Structure 1
């Protein structure tokens, strides 16, 4: 495993790998790695020849009153996790390498970045879109891996790749959780033991709504209220919303398409986010529709036989 601090040294190394036709996987992180990051790395290692992990606490996605200065960092521990997980290359630049003097260009995401975290963290997704675009151009991966816990971020990046015609496949990996359901996050390290215990209510609420959905509940308001009933331990609820899983548009009335129930809340002074997917089962065909399908298949078989 090699570690690079500069764009030039990394791109020179990757150029040699690409010349050999190797498939490059990429896992962008802000460090303080945990088992959720390991899951992303393992997905990359399983389907790519080379796995690159970036470790960079991106200043442009933090607001003026957010936790940039105290965001947890543990580079030596991160290196050990990467080594044992099978990472090929680590890219760990400083802020001046990514944003040199005179830097002034940003990537502005569209409506998918406006609700949820976008509404309460102005400029956050502009910073995310900008740094991810830069990292994609630097690494030029074939595949990039992101965690479902950051559901809106995944949606923003998918739209970014589509709109800017970036030749990168985006893979979303399911959220990794503690045994009691709490979604793994670097910010969990901020939680006191008492707050850590209270934080379980987030996943409990989401799982309760998911269970109701699986039992047949489709009313969006009742599903949200089912989750809300479990959130009595939070100190500040920023949002609890049901959104279309593809467009992030708000869902009202009956849930008939894949949806994401998303939450952001403060436990003590720590802001946590989480979500679960609600996916309706495939709609069964009516007897009439089955008859039409059968007729079409039989006709294709007849035409094929006549063609022989």
Structure 2
């Protein structure tokens, strides 16, 4: 059965109803994989995971204007719809929902969802309102679809915790399912931004995961500041000249941790290689 392409909310509701209530899928479960398109191996892994949890897999493609900041060019975000649909279909996705801006945010739309505590740190320091945009569109997609499961990757770990928080606080009956960060053969976290790296920049970026893993090996025998300095120093040694942040925070709350209690720690980084911003994290 070929993938069903839906572009408006009424069509989405009709499609989901058909899949859920068909003769072979009575009370079938639904898993959603929200994306902004530019589908790559990490998105495909999310679809594969979704199929483990539900009878019906819905992927969404929507380049969300609310999560782009003043210095982030929405118009330059890669849009590869035909290729995206092909890749999703090959991985067994049943429905792809591709709304336009007017379908997602009608003229009278006047709501923003904010998860302030989790959104004001790490990537939220400089990307003002980014996570408000993420929270708003994800909440809408979960409510529009009535999904039983939603699949997200741990590469965007801060985003993952924000989505878990909004689902809990808004009583949205959807289980958030995380999967490990998907990496390429060199260990770099897969991201649509990687395509902007030339060969020399890619070699530099390949060091990120190596340095994070080295930092994790000795974390429990060193002071927190020693680990932070180790990461920053080694980033500079391999040619990463601009560091946005290197921080160690609690794996569940994103609160700062101290040397007296280093359990449930996670290391978060954001760096620039030329103008390409890359993020990563690792459980310590």
Whole-Å separation in 2 of the counterparts to 1:217 and 1:15: 55
Report the CA distance between 1:204 and its aligned residue.
2.1
In structure 2, the CA distance between the partners of 1:221 and 1:136, relative to structure 1 (3 Å rule), is same
In the alignment, is the contact (CA less than 8 A) between 1:35 and 1:184 conserved in 2? yes
Structure 1 range deviating more: 254-263 or 134-143:
254-263
Whole-Å separation in 1 of the counterparts to 2:121 and 2:112: 20
Whole-Å separation in 2 of the counterparts to 1:203 and 1:67: 27
Match of 1:229 in 2: 233
Report the CA distance between 1:255 and its aligned residue.
4.7
Match of 2:77 in 1: 71
Report the CA distance between 1:224 and its aligned residue.
1.8
**Secondary structure class of the residue paired with 2:32:** strand
Equivalent position to 1:195, from 186, 190, 201: 201
How do 1:76-225 residues align onto structure 2 when only pairs under 5 Å count?
76-213=82-219, 216-217=220-221, 219-225=223-229
In the alignment, is the contact (CA less than 8 A) between 2:34 and 2:61 conserved in 1? yes
Say yes or no: does 1:10 pair with 2:12. yes
Whole-Å separation in 1 of the counterparts to 2:282 and 2:105: 35
Report the CA distance between 1:254 and its aligned residue.
4.1
Whole-Å separation in 2 of the counterparts to 1:227 and 1:178: 21
Report the CA distance between 1:114 and its aligned residue.
1.2
Measured against aligned partners, the alpha-carbon deviations of 1:245-277 in whole angstroms (never above 9, x if no partner) come to 000001122453212100011111111110001
- Taking only aligned residues, the RMSD between alpha carbons, in angstroms, comes to 1.3
Say yes or no: does 1:39 pair with 2:42. no
Match of 1:260 in 2: 266
Structure 1 range deviating more: 91-100 or 193-202:
193-202
Measured against aligned partners, the alpha-carbon deviations of 1:127-155 in whole angstroms (never above 9, x if no partner) come to 00100011011111000000000000001
Larger radius of gyration: 1
Report the CA distance between 1:218 and its aligned residue.
5.0
Match of 2:247 in 1: 241
Match of 1:285 in 2: none
Whole-Å separation in 2 of the counterparts to 1:49 and 1:6: 22
Match of 1:24 in 2: 30
Measured against aligned partners, the alpha-carbon deviations of 1:59-78 in whole angstroms (never above 9, x if no partner) come to 00000111311111211111
Whole-Å separation in 1 of the counterparts to 2:175 and 2:127: 27
TM-score, normalised on structure 1?
Answer: 0.87
Whole-Å separation in 1 of the counterparts to 2:70 and 2:96: 29
Measured against aligned partners, the alpha-carbon deviations of 1:105-133 in whole angstroms (never above 9, x if no partner) come to 11111201111011111100100010001
Report the CA distance between 1:54 and its aligned residue.
0.3
Measured against aligned partners, the alpha-carbon deviations of 1:25-62 in whole angstroms (never above 9, x if no partner) come to 01000111111111111001122100000011100000
Question: How many equivalent residue pairs?
Answer: 276
In the alignment, is the contact (CA less than 8 A) between 2:155 and 2:281 conserved in 1? yes
**Secondary structure class of the residue paired with 1:229:** helix
Where structure 2 has 5 or more consecutive residues not aligned to the other structure, the ranges are: none
In the alignment, is the contact (CA less than 8 A) between 1:209 and 1:226 conserved in 2? yes
Where structure 1 has 5 or more consecutive residues not aligned to the other structure, the ranges are: 279-308
Whole-Å separation in 2 of the counterparts to 1:211 and 1:72: 37
**Secondary structure class of the residue paired with 1:101:** coil
**Secondary structure class of the residue paired with 1:172:** strand
